[in-house]
Amino acid sequence: MLTNFERLNVDKKRLVDYQHVISAMAGNYQFERNRANSDFVKLLDEQILTFFEAQKITKPLINRRNGIIKHLRKILTNKFHNSKLSSFGSFESGLSLSNGDIDLCLEFDGEPPKKVLKKIARMLNEDGMKDVKLITNAKVPIVKFIDTQSMIPVDISVNNNLSVYNTELLKRYCNIDRRVKPFILAVKYWARQRGICDPTSGTFSSYAWTLIAINALQTISEPVLPNLCLKNGSNLVTIGGNQYDVSMANDDIDFKSKNSKSVGELIYEFFTTLATKWPWDKSVISAGTGKLVSRKEKGWEHKKPYISDAIQDQKLVRLGKHSLPVEDPFDEIHDLSIVLDAQGVYEIRDEVLRIYSMLNDSNDWANLCQIKYPELDFGAPQLDLFADLRGKQESEIKDDLKTLYRDLAIIERSVSVRESERNEAIRMSKALRRNAELAREQSTLSAELRPRRSKINEVQSKRDSSNNNYIPVHFIEDELLKVYLSLTKESGTGVELSFDKEKALFSWFFELQSMHEHAKLTRKYHREFLRLVNQQEQSIEHIKDIREEIISVSSFGNFTDFDDLAKRLLIELNPLKKERRKLRREVGRLEAWLRKQSSQDSNRPKFKRKHSPKNKGSRDIKQVKNKVVSGDSFSLQDLDLLLKNGGLNSVNQQTNSNQKSTRKAKKNKPTLQPHRGKRGKSSKNI
């Protein structure tokens, strides 16, 4: 059966790159007839098993990969405290091709993943890694790069813990039957070699091809694989606020396949099925249920724009959802075909038709998987770090090393000059910024003085006008009480107050009442007056303090000039530091090689040297180290002495210890930064 998009009337001009699709549309494929003979399939099986053997991950490759992970763990956990770096993907599931990538996940809660990835990308660039790319528009954002020395590609994601579970699932599937691994690797290899295994260019990911392969082994007439996803809620995990059921059966479950086909036969059947019974027309590939689930049942009908529309209309860059649906086993709402574009789908279809027709013409496995885009191939990982040195004379390498030391000394000097210039610029900027702050503070305070003085005068005149002879309120209140008691107390002797006396007391009482009102008002103004005077005094004190603190560096310009200078110097420093790291790495490599050679030589019998002058070595090595730091030329004897005494590292240690003392000195260095001093007493701090 032809798939829908091949039957549609698509303008052939848009399909020139897909010759097999055009051929199929023209009816040149006889899908019904199976032409492969059993001898060929047997040969194919042998070829795939040979290919599989060649893909075995060797000890040096494991060591190299572990070395990269160790290095990354060190720099990442150093930068992101309390983070954890774990490995997942094919390296852990055992489904890695010999040139497969390393997939790493950083668990870190401190900042949003995209921000963390941005920082990681910057760090990796500074660390001299190759082709560092930040991909943030994917479902799981990642940083991709290539380890410069080994050329091994690496992907780093953040808090992508679900992948750890689906990696475990793939691993368990591999353990069920010995044919699973070679089968999946063959599918992945074909997809990779034929350029249809790259989500960044609109084709399936390696993980998607793995799931397609697993599902094929689950759904053939005599299944080779069972379904291991239990979906019984026995293991629920929450990741990024979503809950996932990651329950899965162990790989020792009671399952024995009745299928006795060889890997070659399974591969032949896989591509034949893919070409003739394209599973995506009506179904969803579901390795999490072990079935082909109907699109309708899953609710994953193909959304517009369709593949056929998108291939014809260049403006339709995106494809509608669920073009070739592949369900993620533990994240059932995630369709791995979301990454596809129309060209990608046609390319996949074209390649499926290509391999189908070539299989029926009994082509070799090597021909079937001939690389399509050699320029995109990273090639085999470079595990022998000394490959280029093996044929070289020792003297030649030593000469190279001397040149490297000299180049390094020049770069070291350029870096250190710029670093100290930058530190100075930062110090000046800080000082000027502080000056500007102080000046602002001073003008605010000064601006407050005059209005406050008027207010003081106003309050003072109000206080004085309300009652010039200021009588304290408490005195009036005492007097009022006394008069009130005299007026209201019943006489014990029966003798009442005389009328005149009573009149006088009443009039005194009313007068006291009026005085009380005035006294209260006066007290209010008096307190306000004192508060304002106090404030005024403090402001004046404060202004005096500020004047003392302002440093006379204003003539140097504005702090923004120094900020710009610091920025410019940083921009100049970055490539220099990158170059320095590269040179240091190369120096380390050459030194390691020479050490290795000399340790081999030292196993040969040696003649003892007589009369070696005591302490001469320690005196000379200091001189040699100084020559390295200054970039002066030095002899082969100097180089030998340096190599025997720890190489460039020992020079770095020396400069580091110098740096430590510089840091100490810096601590004691008088700073341009104004310090608080007396200002702690300012009104704001009261």
Q: Which residues in this chain contact ligand UTP in the complex, by CB under 6 A?
A: 88-90, 95-97, 100-101, 103, 163, 166-167, 188, 205-207, 210, 336
Helix ranges (H only) for 467-602 are 473-488, 499-549, 559-602
Residue 215 interacting partner from Mg ion, ligand UTP, none (CB closer than 5 to 8 Å by kind):
none
Least spacing, CB of residue 100 vs Mg ion, in Å: 6
Q: Which is nearer to ligand UTP, 85 or 95 (CB)?
A: 95
- Write the CB contacts of 284 (distance below 8 Å, at least 6 apart in sequence): 292, 293, 294, 295, 298, 300, 322, 325, 326, 327, 335
Stretch that binds Mg ion, among 74-82, 97-105, 490-498, 603-611 (CB under 5 A): 97-105
Least spacing, CB of residue 101 vs Mg ion, in Å: 4
Asked if 487 and 506 count as a contact pair (C-beta separation under 8 A), the reply is yes
Least spacing, CB of residue 371 vs ligand UTP, in Å: 15
Stretch that binds Mg ion, among 55-63, 94-102, 288-296, 383-391 (CB under 5 A): 94-102
- 215 burial via Cβ count (<10 Å: 0-12, 13-18, 19+): buried
Binds Mg ion (CB under 5 A): choice among 6, 45, 92, 101: 101
Stretch that binds Mg ion, among 101-109, 171-179, 222-230, 263-271 (CB under 5 A): 101-109
Least spacing, CB of residue 192 vs Mg ion, in Å: 11
CA neighbor of 641 nearest in space, from 622, 621, 626: 621
Least spacing, CB of residue 402 vs ligand UTP, in Å: 42
Main-chain dihedrals φ then ψ at residue 170, nearest 5 degrees: -60, -40
Stretch that binds Mg ion, among 103-111, 128-136, 326-334, 673-681 (CB under 5 A): 103-111
Residue 207 interacting partner from Mg ion, ligand UTP, none (CB closer than 5 to 8 Å by kind):
ligand UTP
Residue 278 token pair: 């394209």
Q: Which is nearer to Mg ion, 29 or 91 (CB)?
A: 91
Q: Which is nearer to ligand UTP, 188 or 434 (CB)?
A: 188
Least spacing, CB of residue 96 vs Mg ion, in Å: 7
Residue 336 interacting partner from ligand UTP, Mg ion, none (CB closer than 5 to 8 Å by kind):
ligand UTP
Helices 616-630 and 394-466, interaxial angle, to 10°?
70
Residue 29 token pair: 């494929």
Main-chain dihedrals φ then ψ at residue 84, nearest 5 degrees: -135, 135
**What whole-number distance in Å separates Cα of residue 144 and Cα of residue 103?**
9
Q: Which is nearer to Mg ion, 76 or 154 (CB)?
A: 154
CA neighbor of 28 nearest in space, from 46, 2, 8: 2
In sequence order, what DSSP letters do the residues of 407-459 get, joined into one string?
Answer: HHHHHHHHHHHHHHHHHHHHHHHHHHHHHHHHHHHHHHHHHHHHHHHHHHHHH
Written as one letter, the residue type at 565 is L
Asked if 656 and 416 count as a contact pair (C-beta separation under 8 A), the reply is no
**Closest residue to bound Mg ion by CB:** 89
Residue 97 interacting partner from Mg ion, ligand UTP, none (CB closer than 5 to 8 Å by kind):
ligand UTP
Q: Which is nearer to Mg ion, 188 or 349 (CB)?
A: 188
SS3 call for 135: strand
Binds Mg ion (CB under 5 A): choice among 44, 89, 93, 283: 89
Q: Which is nearer to ligand UTP, 100 or 113 (CB)?
A: 100
Q: Which is nearer to Mg ion, 93 or 429 (CB)?
A: 93
DSSP state of 335: B
Which residue's entry shows tokens 């893909």? Answer: 55
Residue 163 interacting partner from ligand UTP, Mg ion, none (CB closer than 5 to 8 Å by kind):
ligand UTP
Residue 335 interacting partner from ligand UTP, Mg ion, none (CB closer than 5 to 8 Å by kind):
none
Classify the C-alpha dihedral 615-621-622-627 as positive or negative.
positive
Written as one letter, the residue type at 386 is F
Residue 205 interacting partner from Mg ion, ligand UTP, none (CB closer than 5 to 8 Å by kind):
ligand UTP
Least spacing, CB of residue 208 vs ligand UTP, in Å: 7
The answer to the question of residue 45 lying near Mg ion (CB under 5 A) is: no
**What whole-number distance in Å separates Cα of residue 478 and Cα of residue 470?**
16
CA neighbor of 302 nearest in space, from 319, 285, 318, 315: 319
Q: Which is nearer to Mg ion, 104 or 550 (CB)?
A: 104
Binds Mg ion (CB under 5 A): choice among 45, 92, 103, 350: 103
Give the N- to C-terminal CA distance of the chain in Å, as an integer: 87
Least spacing, CB of residue 187 vs ligand UTP, in Å: 11
Total residues interacting with Mg ion, rule: CB under 5 A: 4
Q: Which is nearer to ligand UTP, 144 or 298 (CB)?
A: 144
Least spacing, CB of residue 61 vs ligand UTP, in Å: 13
Footprint of Mg ion (CB under 5 A): 89-90, 101, 103
